[in-house]
Structure 1
Amino acid sequence: MLIKQLVEHARDRTDLPPPYYRNRSVRWAIDLDPQGRPRGNRLIDLSTAEAKAGQILATPYVQRSGTGSLPFLLTDTLQYALAVAKDDSGKQINDAQRRNADFIDLIDRWAKDEPRAAPIATFFHSGAHARLAIPEEATVSDVVAIRTDDGWVHALPSAVGVWGSIVRARKSSGNGNGICLACGEPGPLLDTIPEPVKSGAIPVPGGRGRDAQLVSINKTAQGRGGTIQLANTPICDTCGGRAMSALNALLADPHHHHRGNDNVMTWWLRRPAPIAPLASVRDANPEQVNAIIEQVRLSPARRAAWLDGNAFYAITLSANQSRVVIRDWIDIPLIALCQNIDSWFADHAMTDLWADGPQKVPVWRMAAALGRHGKHGYVKDSAPSGAERDLMAAALHRTALPVKLLARLIQRIRADGHVDLARAALLRLLLIRANPALKETLVDGLNRDSTDPGYVSGRLFAVLEDIQRTALDNINTTIADKYFGAAMGRPLAVLTMLRKNATGHLRRLRGNRRAAGIALDKRLDEVLEKLHHEPPATLDLAGQGQFVLGYHHQRAADRAAARAAAASKSAATESA
């Protein structure tokens, strides 16, 4: 259960704000002396060149809803704290004064049992707050906090306790006490989750978004049996507050979340471990990946202690207006996750044109490879929405990818005529995850023994292109530029035509570059032997994927052989 795991995570952390507090940017401070007089009779600006919005402080917070006046204790906007109106109209002035009166009433509830509250009570009841100079750059929505010789007053233990009781009274369920689903203990139950997911924590296309509720059932049609809010999800006030504090802290931690265009994934472990699962998949950092794979390959008795009984949790969120949408939830043992990650890299590892050996590809590069390719690389934001989320989910769950991604990738390769490491790796992954039996033959490099018609046709196209390049100097347009997309879908017609042209190219090579001509003729015969018959007339999507991989593998193998020959020649020259 999501709430239960967040509560357990919150118990293990010492950096979370108090219940119903949130880390917020506080722009202004009211600095009071022991007599309740504001020092300098002005607001103190807490902004700096590095933090223009002000100082980050854990302050009282709960989501405001409706049109009523719901002040926060001791720290709020200028509208509440100092009756600053939105404009000069009588309506806005009266509204600001009403909100300020409620703000002061809340302070009085706290002050009656707190000896250190005297300066604050004097400041407001003497009317000094109404005479305080407001800087021109201040806005009605700026947050202001109060400071005395005892420090920030909202951080006093009494303020934390009083604010907690106020929130519980506002958010408690009409059902009274009950058994909490998260902790299993009896106690007062919540009517709604007191703290929302912070605005901006979940990416929203075209804007910053706003506070969003993890659980929001405010219409009878939405709830089971016509019930609303948390009636069917009993959660005590302690667990509700802890869970949301932990979730917001994770979403604010750059090491524990990954943001997409319209979603965010955040993760945590039951116990700390020296690995970063999400980062290893997203960025394919060799050091991080190898640390995970090393543990998987060891026998259970030799594995690190941090794997024993450890678990991995991750949640993917998007937002719909002011509601949170849970896209995915993962709760698995950490060793199982490591095995899934090992399988992910094994299923997509791919030889490259420019480097020796199979390469591991970051998720973000695979997602970008589904977009358009232009003169300067992949066009930003041209990949389908949610592609990176689908890839990440397949990596962590060890599942197949949506079929639509294969169709999309084939369409882009046909349109762009561009095949690189990221596209080849993604193709192999898509084909293997859709048909695991292919893993035996669809390896990370050239499979000279494969007789798959699509794969061998792709190899044949690569050899014919190499023949053309070798025979013709300073060629501007290759056969790949003209015919690659057509050959993917209709290999028989295109390859038959190109083989006729290659006959003339090979004749020319035998005249002026005899050794190269003999080598290419031999390579062509080797590939043709694997076809047994002529190339297929047409290929389906999977067949076109095999064609592309055969083409990429053959080109990568030829370049690796050329690099090896050049290195051998250079070594022989140096030794001579």
Structure 2
Amino acid sequence: MLYELIELAAKLQREKKMPPLCYEKKQINWIIDLSGAIPYLRGPFEKGEYRMIEAPIRQRSGQVSENNVKPYLLVDDARYVLGIPENREPKKINEAQLMHQEYVRLIEEVYDHTNMPELKRILDFLRSSLKEQFFQSIKPRDIVTFQVNEESLICEHPKIQQFWVQHLEKELVSNDKNNCSICRNYAPYVRIFPSAISLFGQRRGLTSFNEKAFESMGKDQTNNAPICFHCATLTVDVFNYLLREDKHHTELYRDKKKRDVLQAQMAVYWINDSMNEGERGEIQIDESVLASILEPGSFEDETNNLTPPPELKQLEELLALPKTGREQAFHLDKTFFHMAVLSANKARLVVREWIHTSISQLLMHLERYAAAVRIVQPTGEKGYLLPLAALIRAVDMSPGLVRQCLRMIYQGALPPAELLPLALQRFRSPKVLNDPKETWRYHSSASLLKLALTYGKEEANTMQSLNNHYLQPSYICGRLFAVLEEIQRRASGYRIGSTIVDRFYGAASTAPASTFGSLLRLSTTAHLPKVSVELGRLLEEVMKQLDEAGGFPTIFNLREQAEFALGFYHQRAEFRSRHQSNQTNGTGESQ
């Protein structure tokens, strides 16, 4: 994984998409302009009013002291740049003076190394009383930098950027050498990582071996996993890039109520390929499309129905392309998809999952998953590919189950065994079955049931909607239960408050032989005479299929309960589709 990250970082730097080594994009508040004869203060800049600049970054934490002062080169807050204290307490005043002294000392060091006249002008300004004129305007935590000419900011000059890397490397590497765990070069390895990875609002290190439990044969810090400065810095920088750019990450799981940070999971993903420019097809593959299955989508306010993200439709169109044309268009054997699932504990980054696969294999797995999970909508409209986030939320998946589902989607693993009982438990909840606000959960649970039953099988395509030729007794019983509900609803003119589903779904889906007798007697004597002949004929057809299949079973096992649920869901969706069609056409009920 780390090797692939280094490859990605090199590509991003060539394409100018990622800041230089040990730099990050940062929003600034003020620019002290020294390009003229008199210093001029530009700002304050609110978010979006000035471009994000490339600013030096390094890891700094803990209480500021003489042994722990770590200024950023030329871009820092006003405590460092101008020595503005946070308040007038003697402790804060002394602290700001110490910060400012180290900030100036660092610029002096750069000037001695580069002899850049622009730095001399900045030093003259900082050593003079001219800076005090800005004290009333700038707040201590405001980010400040300098501009010495009209063309660019001094902090973005290549010589400054090169010095910053050399400065950090000199300070942070060990005196010993070892083979880098990533590039295998024999070189000094980092003792302390130059910066941390920002995940879920926390700054976490890539590795940590400071506790005795993590030491091996007396080796401490990064001796256990030596990484050269270049690889260590690139790895952290590219992780932060992926976590910054929306198209490269998706939050999979977060327990917001318990606030258990270790349970939170973030997926980061990217594509690496070895194609030349002339080999690329007209259609370009985008990682955000391949990962769109993870996106949460949105929930409409009135009906709470799920609206999938637009990229998911693009993924479906991609999967619908003929396989041979797809291979030729994308050179899929030379293109690879990478995904890492990350968490953060109190000390360091945690990699929960690592997925590495060719696009050719990936599309095959996605195609199999999409066929198994796609199901008609509750309204009877054509089904679409539901995002994983909706399925997670529908049944409250655990973090471990989420990762198992990722392996199923992207690597072709079998559906987790616990998925079926979890989806079944949620599906047969009376609220999910009947509350319009739970329509999205009803749809998602049915989708998961179909996934667990049909993944990798021919039925994945034939069971997307009502299948009159699927003659399993459990499926037919589910259809029969939906027919009896519809008879009851039509007999009451759709004005009934509570249906047989509220009272008998659990019994009918587990012990049909002891439940359906009384339900059939009630329907044929009290309700059937009040509905259309067509609906009565449908009841006879379903009963005939059930008789030919062996009649009512005594009890259903877990898989048969899921087939019952699918039969009920499919038949119900068929009724709702026809009901809506009749209302649109202004006709009476028909079957």
Shorter-chain TM-score range: 0.7 to 0.9
1:212 is aligned to 204
Contact persistence 2:514–2:554 (CA under 8 A): no
Aligned residues: 534
Q: For residues 21 and 464 of structure 1, do their structure 2 counterparts lie closer, same or farther at Cα, with a shift above 3 Å needed?
A: same
CA distance in 2, matches of 1:333, 1:346: 20
In 2, the alpha carbon distance for the partners of 1:60 and 1:402 equals: 45
Alignment of 1:330-409 (within 5 A): 330-370=355-395, 391-409=405-423
Give the alignment partner of residue 421 of structure 1, picking from 443, 467, 491: 443
Give the alignment partner of residue 453 of structure 2, picking from 420, 428, 431.
431
Give me the whole-angstrom Cα distance separating, in 2, the residues matched to 1:440 and 1:349: 8
Which region of structure 1 is more displaced relative to structure 2, 98-107 or 392-401?
392-401
CA offset digits 1:306-352 (Å, max 9, x no partner): 42311111112122235222121111111111111111101112123
Q: Do structure 1's residue 327 and structure 2's residue 352 form an aligned pair?
A: yes
Distance (whole Å) between structure 1 residues aligned to residue 367 and residue 579 of structure 2: 31
Partner of 1:3: 2
Residue type of the partner of 2:355? I
1:184 aligns with 2:184: yes
Q: Which residue of 289, 297, 306 maps to 2:323?
A: 297
Q: Does 1:250 align with 2:242?
A: yes
Taking the aligned partners of 1:484 and 1:289, their CA distance within structure 2 comes to 36
Q: How is 1:25-174 mapped onto 2 (pairs within 5 angstroms)?
A: 25-33=27-35, 38-39=39-40, 43-48=41-46, 51=48, 55-67=51-63, 68-112=68-112, 113-116=114-117, 117-129=119-131, 131-135=132-136, 138-149=138-149, 151-174=152-175
The aligned counterpart of 2:335 is: 310
Aligned mates of 1:485, 1:224 — CA distance in 2: 57
> Residue 507 and residue 307 in structure 1: after superposition, are their counterparts in 2 closer, same or farther (change >3 A)?
closer
**Cα distance in 1 between the residues matched to 2:175 and 2:459:** 58
User: Which of the residues 529, 534, 547 maps onto 1:529?
Assistant: 547
Distance apart, 1:60 and its partner CA: 0.8
Normalising by structure 1, we get a TM-score of 0.83
Deviation (angstroms), 1:166: 1.4
Unaligned stretches of 5+ in structure 2? 255-263, 274-279, 296-308, 434-441
Measure, in 1, the Cα distance between the counterparts of 2:218 and 2:267.
31
Does 2:292 correspond to 1:274?
no
Structure 1 residue matching 2:213: 3-state secondary structure: coil
CA pair 356-71 structure 1, distance change in 2 beyond 3 A: closer
Unpaired runs of at least 5, structure 1: 204-208, 372-382, 571-576
2:476 and 2:542 in contact (8 A); partners too: no
- Measure the CA separation in 1 of the matches of 2:454 and 2:24: 46
2:462, 2:525 → 1: CA distance? 33
Contact 2:426–2:445 (CA under 8 A) maintained in structure 1 = no
Q: Which residue of 2 aligns with 1:16?
A: 18
- Partners in 2 of 1:507 and 1:566 — Cα distance? 22
Contact 1:459 1:527 in 2 (8 A): no
AA partner of residue 23 (structure 2)? Y
Deviations 1:334-385 (A, max 9, x none): 11111111111011121234345443222233223226xxxxxxxxxxx766
Deviations 1:259-315 (A, max 9, x none): 233322121111384342002564475642244324562278x52244231111111
Determine the C-alpha separation between the residues in 1 that align with 2:552 and 2:407. 40
Shift of 1:62: 0.7
Do the aligned partners of residues 292 and 192 (structure 1) sit closer, same or farther apart at CA in structure 2, a change above 3 Å counting?
A: farther
Q: Secondary structure at the match of 1:469?
A: helix
Q: State the distance in 2 between where 1:536 and 1:338 align.
A: 42
Paired residues of 2:57 and 2:72 also in contact (CA < 8 A): yes
Q: Could you tell me which amino acid in structure 1 is paired with residue 96 of structure 2?
A: A
Distance in 1 between residues matched to 2:107 and 2:176, nearest whole Å: 29
Q: Could you tell me whether the CA contact under 8 Å between 1:441 and 1:450 is conserved in 2?
A: no
Alpha-carbon separation, structure 2, partners of 1:514 and 1:162: 85
The answer to whether the Cα contact below 8 Å between 1:21 and 1:60 also exists between their aligned partners in 2 is yes
Using the alignment, how far apart are the partners of 2:584 and 2:403 within structure 1?
Answer: 42
How far the C-alpha of 1:132 sits from its partner, in A, is 3.5
What is the DSSP-based 3-state SS (H/G/I as helix, E as strand, rest coil) of the residue aligned with 1:85?
coil
Between the aligned partners of 1:294 and 1:257, the Cα distance in structure 2 is 25
Aligned amino acid, residue 144 of structure 2: V
Normalization by structure 2: what TM-score? 0.81
**Cα deviations by residue, 1:486-527 (Å, 9 ceiling, x for unpaired):** 433443333232122122146524xxx562354134234234
Q: What is the rounded CA distance, in whole Å, between the counterparts of 1:561 and 1:88 in structure 2?
A: 76
